[in-house]
Amino acid sequence: MRVMVVGSGGREHAIVLALKKSKRVTEVFCAPGNAGIAQVASCLATDASVSSLLALAKEQAIDLTVVGPEGPLVAGIVDAFEAEGLQIFGPNKKASQLEGSKVFCKSFLERHVIPTAKHQSFKDELLALEYLEKVGVPIVIKDSNLAAGKGVTVATEKEQARSAIENILSAPEGGELVIEDYLPGQEVSFLIFVDGESYAPMLLAQDYKQAFDGDRGDMTGGMGTIAPVSLLSDAQYDYVRREIIEKTLAGLKKDDILYKGVLFIGLMVTESDVKVLEFNCRFGDPETQVVLPLLKTDLLEIMEAVIEGRLAETRLEWSDEAAACIIMAAPGYPGSYKKDIPITVPELAKNVTVIHAGTRLKEGQLVSSGGRVLGVTAVADNLDRAIASAYEAVEDIEFPEAHYRRDIGSRLQKTKN
């Protein structure tokens, strides 16, 4: 079977590695991929438009296309492939609105009485600023549109909140935002496979989203992840399944939305309850880098079961090990960052995989080409050992001025050992 993964980041590298383990996959392509993916798959140069990707899938006689990032999903890549009778993994355009529009997502949650933070949506700057005066800080400002993981500001000062509001609503094409109550607690990433009827949960992961140690600095796409995390008690896990997942699937049906693919549920676990922070319509990045290495079931079989609506018959098996991923970013990220920094990856321990996010080859030399550059991932028999191995490898990689957090995994009190 010829499989094409769409995207060019660490998540896509992790998906490619997982698909390559399937006996039925004969060749893996990645469009466009990166320098690390090129070591294990055939990279196909392309722009990100749906029409180019569709043409590529036909040209290469691809049997299954797997979409990594949200952009093409929100743009309707699944609808376009299905209209041409091509097999593709991911939710359609209507379903992807759960991520593509924060306003849509919050009204979905409200309509179906799914626990989430209190909120208001605004297009008008004066009304948004007036509301800010009323509710005060800390407060969360979310750009309603896609913003590569950087559209959320957790404001502790009114000035910070005002400037986030102004930035979003001053866009010439007009913006929209959600102002939502700040919830103190720990975030957990709960990803599930969904086939329109049934769902299968993945291991829980935790992302470290801010740029600096101690959860300081700007939001990034994610600076490191660990899995599995045992942040939910059994009672909370049951609550999430009943009050969040089952109500979401019932709500989708009621709204006549067919959801097939991965649904990423960002949860906030507070002292008293669990609430939905956000939905994403795809695998997480860098959650995927720690979740897929622990998946023992063939990923291709799961994806086919999702597409064919047979997920209820598919049992997911997980390794009882743990995984940690440390993101090595370019200096300056998530602001403007340096590019073309030469990188040398030496031979590393067998339990370590260097996932490439923003890399390319320049005259035969591996160089950085993005903000998040490498995701150094280790699997070990417990989380402490996985984190230690990943950091040892980070120290051995030559990547001058690399920025990485030194505290990935430290937030967690109760981990699976």
- Which residues here bind ligand GLY, judged by CB under 6 A? 149, 207, 222, 280, 284-285, 287
* β-strands 2-7, 64-67 pairing: parallel
Please identify, using beta-carbon distances, which residue of 282 and 360 lies nearer to ligand GLY: 282
- Grouping H, G, I as helix, E, B as strand and the rest as coil, residue 336 is coil
**What would the two tokens of residue 384 be?**
């402490």
CB of 356 vs ligand GLY, minimal distance in Å? 17
CB of 203 vs ligand GLY, minimal distance in Å? 15
CB of 282 vs ligand GLY, minimal distance in Å? 8
CB of 87 vs ligand GLY, minimal distance in Å? 24
CB of 189 vs ligand GLY, minimal distance in Å? 7
Per the CB < 8 A criterion, the answer to whether 194 and 306 are in contact is yes
The Cα 360–Cα 348 span in angstroms is 20
CB of 190 vs ligand GLY, minimal distance in Å? 12
Please identify, using beta-carbon distances, which residue of 90 and 284 lies nearer to ligand GLY: 284
Rg (CA), the chain: 20
Please identify, using beta-carbon distances, which residue of 96 and 280 lies nearer to ligand GLY: 280
* Torsion region of 74: left, alpha or beta (phi above 0 gives left; psi -120 to 50 gives alpha): alpha
Please identify, using beta-carbon distances, which residue of 87 and 116 lies nearer to ligand GLY: 116
Please identify, using beta-carbon distances, which residue of 177 and 188 lies nearer to ligand GLY: 188
Nearest by Cα to 340 from 381, 370, 385: 370
Please identify, using beta-carbon distances, which residue of 143 and 287 lies nearer to ligand GLY: 287
Per the CB < 8 A criterion, the answer to whether 362 and 303 are in contact is no
What's the DSSP call for residue 398?
A: B
For residue 87, how many other CB atoms are within 10 A of its CB?
18
CB of 159 vs ligand GLY, minimal distance in Å? 27
Please identify, using beta-carbon distances, which residue of 135 and 295 lies nearer to ligand GLY: 295
Looking at residue 1, its amino acid is: M
CB of 361 vs ligand GLY, minimal distance in Å? 26
The Cα 398–Cα 236 span in angstroms is 43
The Cα 147–Cα 154 span in angstroms is 15
The Cα 395–Cα 401 span in angstroms is 12
Please identify, using beta-carbon distances, which residue of 195 and 278 lies nearer to ligand GLY: 278
H helix intervals, 41-172: 50-59, 70-74, 77-83, 93-100, 102-111, 125-135, 158-169
The Cα 144–Cα 98 span in angstroms is 11
